[in-house]
């Protein structure tokens, strides 16, 4: 199947995981056309047509979901273009972003919001900046969001509209574009309604116009990525994970107790490990943090419990609750401060 560095033939339906991980992304026999993703893109184009918009963003396979800054095109992650790659993505990252029709369409609408913003340079308008903020605002590694704010629409997870003015516009556009959504009533009384009305006004103005920027550069194309899937995932995990020092120890000793040879109690590490999947899902449901980050953090905690030989007299339900609460707290600290450790 693979001779040296040259790919002779790759059968994704029958390839082993070990073989697959040694394949370079650029050599994967995948394309958008003819896949379920293509059907989602066709549905996106239909929504744009129904809204009488002339603009249709070109979509291509990239290393992740993206719209290159200033480019009126949409990058779709290569791993959703084939079931085998989706399976590997789920195993490596514990989730497949855009892996269902509903989530795929949500992300396509969002990225199209960026693309149409760049195609017509809407962000340069004075009123756009007055309503959404300055496009030149710096993107930060984290952002503080207000869960109950009515000044922003709710479309993607993580209250993403609150991240940056460009994201606010893309999310507002996504809500406006969604067919069958009565945003006038859903956002009645919200500050976000003003943004939706402005987007409606903008789209009615530009719908028959040709884009100012008709074409875009396809940055981070999958076909140009000469990295193996093994290194691709290694890099992704490293870029989104953190090195966690031993500051867990003090907190874990408050949650559990050190091993006592006279007392036959279960090891905390074994109980936590047994409910690994449940804890990851619990924390994800509250934080919407990427599952692989939650899982890596949980692995660190299990390792520390094992190293400290911690035991517990609590029921398994209480152990799961304590651990889930602790990890949720760490992640929310990170979301609001950029650090897992809270302020002293």
Domain end position, chosen among 191, 224, 257? 224
CB 240 within 8 A of CB 292: yes
Query: What local confidence, expressed as pLDDT, does residue 293 receive?
Result: 83
Query: What local confidence, expressed as pLDDT, does residue 143 receive?
Result: 63
Question: Is 230 a domain residue?
Answer: no
CB 45 within 8 A of CB 54: no
pTM score of the predicted model = 0.76
Query: What local confidence, expressed as pLDDT, does residue 258 receive?
Result: 87
Question: Is 188 a domain residue?
Answer: yes
Q: What is the mean pLDDT of each run of 10 residues along the chain (344 residues)?
A: 52 94 96 96 97 96 95 97 96 90 97 97 97 87 74 88 93 97 96 97 94 93 96 80 61 87 85 94 88 87 91 93 92 66 41
* Same domain membership, residue 188 and residue 62: yes
Domain boundaries, position 257: 241-337
Give kind and range of the element (H or E) at residue 127.
helix 126-132
Query: What local confidence, expressed as pLDDT, does residue 244 receive?
Result: 43
* Same domain membership, residue 165 and residue 16: yes
Residue 203's region, left for phi above 0, alpha for psi from -120 to 50, else beta, is alpha
* Same domain membership, residue 219 and residue 90: yes
Domain end position, chosen among 224, 258, 283? 224
Closest CA to 78 of 92, 98, 57: 98
Question: Is 234 a domain residue?
Answer: no
* Same domain membership, residue 198 and residue 76: yes
Q: What are the b/e assignments for 198-208, b being 16+ CB within 10 Å?
A: bbbebbeebee
Q: How far apart are CA 80 and CA 75, in angstroms?
A: 12
Query: What local confidence, expressed as pLDDT, does residue 20 receive?
Result: 96
What are residue 66's DSSP bridge partners?
A: 75
* Same domain membership, residue 268 and residue 188: no
Query: What local confidence, expressed as pLDDT, does residue 238 receive?
Result: 67
Number of domains comprising the chain: 2
Question: Is 100 a domain residue?
Answer: yes
Query: What local confidence, expressed as pLDDT, does residue 31 receive?
Result: 95
Question: Taking the CA of residue 162 as centre, how many other CA atoms within 13 Å lie in the half-sphere pointing to its CB?
Answer: 17
Closest CA to 89 of 107, 64, 111, 109: 64
* Same domain membership, residue 216 and residue 144: yes
* Same domain membership, residue 216 and residue 325: no
Query: What local confidence, expressed as pLDDT, does residue 339 receive?
Result: 53
């Amino acid at each position: 199947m693979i001779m040296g560095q040259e790919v002779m033939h790759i059968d994704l339906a029958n390839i082993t995981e070990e073989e697959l991980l040694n394949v370079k992304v650029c050599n994967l026999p995948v394309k958008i056309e003819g896949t379920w993703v293509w059907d989602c893109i066709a549905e996106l184009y239909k929504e744009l047509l129904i809204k009488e918009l002339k603009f249709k963003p070109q979509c291509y396979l990239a290393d992740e979901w993206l719209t290159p800054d200033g480019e009126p095109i949409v990058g779709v992650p290569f791993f959703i273009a084939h079931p085998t790659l989706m399976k590997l993505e789920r195993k490596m990252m514990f989730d497949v972003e855009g892996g269902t029709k509903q989530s795929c369409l949500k992300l396509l609408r969002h990225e199209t919001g960026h693309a149409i913003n760049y195609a017509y340079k809407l962000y340069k308008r004075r009123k756009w900046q007055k309503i959404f903020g300055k496009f030149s605002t710096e993107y930060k590694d984290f952002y503080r969001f207000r869960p109950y704010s009515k000044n922003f629409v709710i479309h993607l997870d993580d209250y993403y509209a609150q991240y940056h003015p460009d994201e606010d516009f893309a999310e507002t556009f996504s809500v406006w574009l969604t067919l069958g959504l009565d945003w006038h009533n859903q956002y009645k009384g919200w500050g976000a309604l003003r943004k939706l009305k402005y987007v409606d006004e903008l789209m009615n103005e530009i719908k028959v116009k040709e884009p100012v920027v008709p074409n875009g550069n396809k940055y981070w194309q999958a076909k140009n990525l000469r990295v193996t899937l093994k290194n691709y995932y290694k890099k992704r995990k490293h870029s989104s994970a953190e090195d966690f020092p031993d500051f867990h120890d003090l907190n874990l000793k408050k949650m559990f107790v050190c091993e006592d040879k006279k007392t036959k109690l279960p090891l905390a590490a074994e109980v936590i490990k047994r409910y690994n999947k449940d804890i990851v899902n619990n924390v994800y449901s509250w934080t919407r943090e990427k599952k692989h980050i939650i899982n890596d953090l949980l692995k660190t905690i299990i390792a520390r419990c094992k190293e400290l030989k911690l035991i517990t007299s609590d029921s398994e339900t209480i152990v799961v609750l304590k651990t889930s609460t602790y990890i949720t707290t760490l992640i929310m600290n990170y979301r609001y401060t950029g650090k897992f450790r809270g302020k002293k």
